[in-house]
């Protein structure tokens, strides 16, 4: 005898993606399941760990079917989390105005007058229900920078907004409405009546007509005329230091709350603002939402570094239904539910226990032998590390990446500060990647590599303990601090990095391909010695075999062209290319890709190579050094950088050859006067470097990286576990 259930709920074998979800339980697609003893006809259901026991499955679906018939409820939820917005593509974020991708961030405006940008999530938010009148709660977090580049006059700021779903673009361009609407639109009462909005403004320009006489954060409803009760002074730094903003709405109290970073007397502080706003009275039931920025007569840089959003609520689908029927149905459903709860719990407990046992087996298989003998990093308990980091409180947090948070701690057994990487359960870094990172870095011993002190795997919690680097990462000192890194220190950093790569490629028992060499992964100790970190993408390769890996990985701008175009997998030569780009960054003080530059200067490799061919390579030196450098050294570093970043992997040096030139033990190479183009490319090389985009799918399963130009277009897919968070989060505060 077979049992047959028809329901509209399916339990997948993998957790649901963090994407926009609108689930109406009564209107969802019906899926039919048949049971005969332990046979399940649906292959998806049979594969699910929730459905290994047919009796558990039968109880569960019987209960759900009863409850769904008598409980006409609907649920709406929307959630996403982009820790690196350079990886968030046009499939999920709609951008307009002057927004453009730059490395791992979004530049919202250009550094010029009357520029604006708008970033909107591609799905609308169901803000409130017309039948029940219930309003959704939501929270959003974003990190950003506003940089005036040392100018005394600048404008205008940024906003987070919710608005009518067909909200028009800015017309004409000005900075009055901070990229949301223009002065003309703002002063038109018919416009704001037809297109209502609620915005949180981060205002860096004082408009005498309606602003207080200071930078401020305000909550605005269909207007930018600042109310004293809905605004507060914002203590800003206007340099490259970052800000964080958390905005939440509590529908029970109608309170919109804002918590944000400030810098008072050059000290980072936390500021707050809240106001009562009945969003149901101010906005339609469906809204679009996003972030805007603008410049006016004066200008500044607006950079969006990360953005997350979460909203969920349940409301009555058919208000005023039969109370008697509901009571009877609830009684029957409750009886069945109670009877099946024990059985369901037992099945889930067995499943989770099995998962834990499998993970423990993986850990023991990867790390057990060496670590049981006492070799390598120490295994800590979760309680020990939680105590060391004072319970992982926010004040001890060094940073946040796609893998989770990083916290500063103090371990009494070694009497030293440490950086504790706490991998979140939803991270792309699974147990195998975790074990791989531990086993690789624990076997390496070199003065220019970050030292792994310990690790923890306990009750599905994954933690790594690294030595703490007081001077943070190289990118902070090159691009985010006002103090200039002196030339002697820079040259020593370049040689230290080269030494680390020589060790990985040739001097250890196996070749290690790092695959993600960039300034944010180069740490600086108390004496500014370079230490290469983040081995989450690194792979062992036998010296006797071709030193290549099979999977695409790395960071755009630092990846060799043969890798980005799918022509050749990662190798020692692609590591050498990345080193060359970093060497040029150290000497020139600019990032690999600069979309604000002229066409032939967008790529740092193309720009410096052009100056080299004209005999003017010293003009590429970082102007902030004001000529305070050894000409032979900086010329040497830039030429070695070009040599290593040669577009053809066959013409790149080994790290040993590069070090010999950097130590002036070998002559400078003679390079072509113009940037070579490998035979597998068509057209100028910058066409394949600059105009790229990266799309992170909503399911978090893959990244589509596409390149386009007038002559060619190439696309490829890589698994999300190849996306590497920056190791700088481990150390910089």
The pLDDT, as a whole number, for residue 208 is: 80
Residue 498's alpha-carbon distances to 391, 515, 562, 656, in angstroms, are 38, 14, 22, 8
Strand, coil or helix: 518: coil
* pLDDT-derived band at 566, boundaries 50, 70, 90: confident
Q: Name 283's Cβ contacts closer than 8 Å, sequence gap at least 6.
A: 127, 162, 163, 164, 196, 197, 198
Which contiguous run of DSSP H or E holds residue 524?
strand 522-524
Q: How far apart are CA 203 and CA 295, in angstroms?
A: 11
Q: Is the pLDDT of residue 152 over 80?
A: yes
Q: What angle do CA 602, 608, 614 make, to 5 degrees?
A: 120
Q: Is the pLDDT of residue 333 over 90?
A: no
C-alpha gyration radius of the chain: 28
Q: Is the pLDDT of residue 316 over 60?
A: no
The pLDDT, as a whole number, for residue 724 is: 37
* pLDDT-derived band at 140, boundaries 50, 70, 90: very high
Q: How far apart are CA 708 and CA 714, in angstroms?
A: 7
Asked if 410 contacts 467 with a C-beta cutoff of 8 angstroms, the reply is no
User: Which of 519 and 430 is assigned the larger pLDDT?
Assistant: 519
Residue 230 CA, distance from chain mean position: 31
The pLDDT, as a whole number, for residue 44 is: 39
Asked if 516 is an active-site residue, the reply is yes
Q: Per-residue pLDDT tens for 536-548?
A: 666 766 555 555 5
User: Can you give the residue ranges of every domain in the chain?
Assistant: 3-72+324-354, 76-316, 377-467, 474-730
- Among 57-71, 162-176, 462-476, the range scoring the smallest mean pLDDT is 57-71
Residue 76's alpha-carbon distances to 28, 316, 577, in angstroms, are 13, 11, 47
The highest-confidence range among 28-37, 246-255, 505-514, by mean pLDDT, is 246-255
Q: Is the pLDDT of residue 17 over 70?
A: no
* Paired sense of beta strands 21-23 and 231-233, if any: unpaired
The pLDDT, as a whole number, for residue 498 is: 98
Q: Is the pLDDT of residue 711 over 70?
A: no
CATH number of 76-316: 2.60.120.200
CATH topology classification for 474-730: Transferase(Phosphotransferase); domain 1 (1.10.510)
Q: How far apart are CA 562 and CA 512, in angstroms?
A: 19
- Among 37-51, 388-402, 508-522, 671-685, the range scoring the smallest mean pLDDT is 37-51
* Range 345-356 burial, b when 16+ CB lie within 10 A, else e: eebeeeeeeeee
Residue 272 CA, distance from chain mean position: 25
Average pLDDT on 452-477 reads 87
- The answer to whether 422 is a known ligand-binding residue is yes
Two tokens at 135? Answer: 């309003």
Strand, coil or helix: 349: helix
Residue with tokens 């309003």: 135
Q: Is the pLDDT of residue 36 over 50?
A: no
Two tokens at 232? Answer: 């507060």
Q: Is the pLDDT of residue 147 over 60?
A: yes
The pLDDT, as a whole number, for residue 608 is: 97
Q: How far apart are CA 142 and CA 269, in angstroms?
A: 17
Mean pLDDT over each residue of the chain, to the nearest integer: 77
Q: How far apart are CA 575 and CA 552, in angstroms?
A: 13
Q: How far apart are CA 216 and CA 234, in angstroms?
A: 4
* Paired sense of beta strands 702-708 and 692-696, if any: antiparallel
Residue with tokens 């400078």: 668
Average pLDDT on 163-185 reads 92
Please state, for a pLDDT cut of 70, what percent of the chain lies above it. 67
* Range 382-420 burial, b when 16+ CB lie within 10 A, else e: eebbbebbeebeeebbbbbbbbbbbbbbebeeeeeebbb
Phi-psi region of 37 (alpha: psi -120 to 50; beta: other; left: phi over 0): left
Q: Per-residue pLDDT tens for 697-709?
A: 333 333 333 333 3
The pLDDT, as a whole number, for residue 483 is: 76
Q: How far apart are CA 28 and CA 645, in angstroms?
A: 54
Average pLDDT on 441-457 reads 88
Residue with tokens 């970033």: 119
The pLDDT, as a whole number, for residue 443 is: 82
Q: Is the pLDDT of residue 720 over 80?
A: no
Is the preceding peptide bond at 505 cis, omega within 30 degrees of 0?
Answer: no
Do 377-467 and 474-730 have matching folds? Answer: no
Phi-psi region of 23 (alpha: psi -120 to 50; beta: other; left: phi over 0): beta
Average pLDDT on 78-89 reads 75
Q: Which of 80, 100, 81, 98 is nearest to 90 (CA)?
A: 100
Helices 323-363 and 431-443: angle between axes, nearest 10 degrees: 30
Half-sphere exposure at residue 709, Cβ-oriented, CA atoms within 13 angstroms: 15
Is the preceding peptide bond at 156 cis, omega within 30 degrees of 0?
Answer: yes
Phi, psi for residue 688 in degrees, rounded to 5: -100, -5
Average pLDDT on 354-359 reads 54
Q: Which of 732, 304, 307 is nearest to 481 (CA)?
A: 732
Catalytic residue among 98, 516, 575, 622: 516
- Predicted structure pTM score: 0.53
- Among 33-37, 255-259, 543-547, 667-671, the range scoring the smallest mean pLDDT is 33-37
Q: Which of 163, 160, 165 is nearest to 141 (CA)?
A: 160
Q: How far apart are CA 294 and CA 145, in angstroms?
A: 13
The pLDDT, as a whole number, for residue 298 is: 93
Asked if 571 contacts 501 with a C-beta cutoff of 8 angstroms, the reply is no
The pLDDT, as a whole number, for residue 357 is: 54
Q: Is the pLDDT of residue 625 over 50?
A: yes
CATH number of 377-467: 3.30.200.20
Q: Per-residue pLDDT tens for 250-307?
A: 999 999 999 999 999 889 999 999 999 999 999 999 999 999 999 999 999 999 999 9
The pLDDT, as a whole number, for residue 474 is: 93
Average pLDDT on 483-495 reads 94
């Amino acid at each position: 005898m077979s049992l047959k259930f028809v329901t509209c709920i399916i339990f997948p074998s993998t957790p649901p993606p963090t994407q926009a979800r609108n689930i109406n339980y009564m209107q969802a697609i019906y899926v039919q399941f048949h049971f005969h003893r332990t046979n399940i006809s649906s292959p998806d259901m049979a594969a699910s760990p929730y459905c290994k026991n047919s009796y558990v499955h039968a109880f569960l679906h019987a209960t759900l079917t009863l409850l769904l018939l008598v409980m006409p409820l609907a649920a709406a939820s929307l959630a996403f989390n982009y820790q690196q917005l350079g990886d968030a593509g046009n499939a999920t974020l709609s951008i307009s105005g002057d927004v453009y991708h730059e490395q791992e961030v979004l530049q919202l405006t250009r550094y010029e007058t009357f520029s604006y940008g708008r970033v909107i999530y591609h799905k609308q938010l169901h803000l409130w229900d017309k039948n029940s009148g219930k309003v959704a709660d939501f929270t959003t977090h974003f990190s950003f920078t506003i940089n005036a580049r040392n100018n005394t006059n600048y404008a205008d700021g940024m906003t987070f907004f919710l608005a009518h779903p067909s909200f028009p673009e800015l017309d004409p361009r000005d900075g009055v409405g901070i990229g949301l609407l223009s002065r003309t639109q703002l002063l038109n009462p018919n416009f704001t009546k037809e297109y209502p909005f609620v915005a949180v403004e981060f205002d860096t320009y004082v408009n005498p007509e309606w602003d207080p006489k200071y930078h401020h954060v305000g909550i605005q409803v269909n207007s930018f005329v600042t109310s004293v009760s809905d605004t507060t002074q914002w203590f800003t730094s206007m340099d490259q230091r970052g800000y964080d903003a958390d905005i939440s709405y509590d529908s029970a109290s109608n309170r919109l709350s804002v918590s944000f970073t400030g810098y008072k007397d050059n000290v980072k502080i936390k500021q707050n603002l809240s106001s009562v706003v009945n969003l149901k009275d101010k906005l339609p039931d469906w809204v679009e939402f996003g972030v805007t920025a603008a410049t006016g007569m004066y200008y500044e840089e607006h950079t969006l570094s990360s953005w997350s959003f979460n909203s969920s609520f349940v409301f009555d689908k058919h208000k005023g239904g039969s109370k008697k029927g509901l009571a009877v149905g609830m009684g029957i459903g409750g009886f069945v539910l109670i009877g099946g709860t024990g059985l369901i719990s037992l099945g889930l407990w067995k499943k989770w226990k099995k998962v834990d046992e499998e993970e423990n087996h993986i850990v023991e298989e990867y790390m057990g032998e060496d670590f049981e003998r006492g070799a390598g990093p120490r295994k800590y308990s979760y309680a020990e590390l939680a105590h060391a980091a004072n319970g992982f409180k926010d004040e001890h947090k060094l940073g946040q990446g796609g893998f989770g948070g990083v916290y500063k701690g103090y371990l009494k057994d070694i009497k030293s500060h440490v950086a504790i990487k706490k991998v979140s359960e939803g991270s792309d870094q699974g147990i195998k990647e975790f074990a791989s990172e531990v086993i690789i870095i624990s076997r390496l011993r070199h003065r220019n590599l970050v030292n792994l002190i310990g690790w923890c795997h306990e009750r599905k919690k994954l933690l790594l303990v690294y030595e703490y680097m007081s001077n943070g990462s190289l990118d902070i000192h090159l691009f985010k601090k006002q103090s200039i890194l002196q030339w002697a220190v820079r040259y020593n950093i370049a040689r230290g990095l080269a030494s680390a790569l020589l060790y990985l490629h040739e001097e250890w028992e196996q070749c290690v391909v790092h695959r993600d060499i960039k300034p944010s992964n180069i740490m600086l100790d108390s004496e500014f010695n370079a230490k290469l970190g983040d081995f989450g993408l690194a792979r062992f390769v036998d010296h006797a075999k071709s030193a290549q890996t099979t999977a695409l990985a790395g960071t755009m701008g630092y990846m060799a062209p043969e890798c980005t175009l799918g022509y050749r997998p990662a190798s020692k030569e692609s590591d050498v290319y990345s080193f060359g780009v970093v060497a040029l960054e150290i000497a020139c003080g600019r990032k690999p890709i600069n979309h604000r530059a002229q066409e032939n200067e967008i790529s740092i490799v193309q720009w410096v190579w052009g100056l080299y061919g004209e005999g003017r390579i010293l003009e590429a030196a970082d102007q902030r050094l004001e000529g305070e450098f050894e000409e032979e050294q900086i010329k040497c570093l830039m030429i070695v950088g070009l040599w290593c970043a040669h577009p053809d992997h066959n013409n790149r040096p080994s790290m040993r050859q590069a070090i010999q030139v950097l130590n002036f033990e070998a002559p400078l190479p003679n390079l072509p006067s113009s940037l070579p183009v490998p035979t597998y490319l068509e057209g100028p090389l910058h066409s394949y470097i600059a105009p790229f985009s990266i799309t992170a799918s909503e399911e978090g399963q893959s990244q589509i990286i596409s390149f386009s130009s007038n002559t060619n277009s190439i696309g490829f897919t890589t698994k999300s576990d190849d996306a590497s968070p920056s190791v700088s989060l481990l150390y910089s505060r």
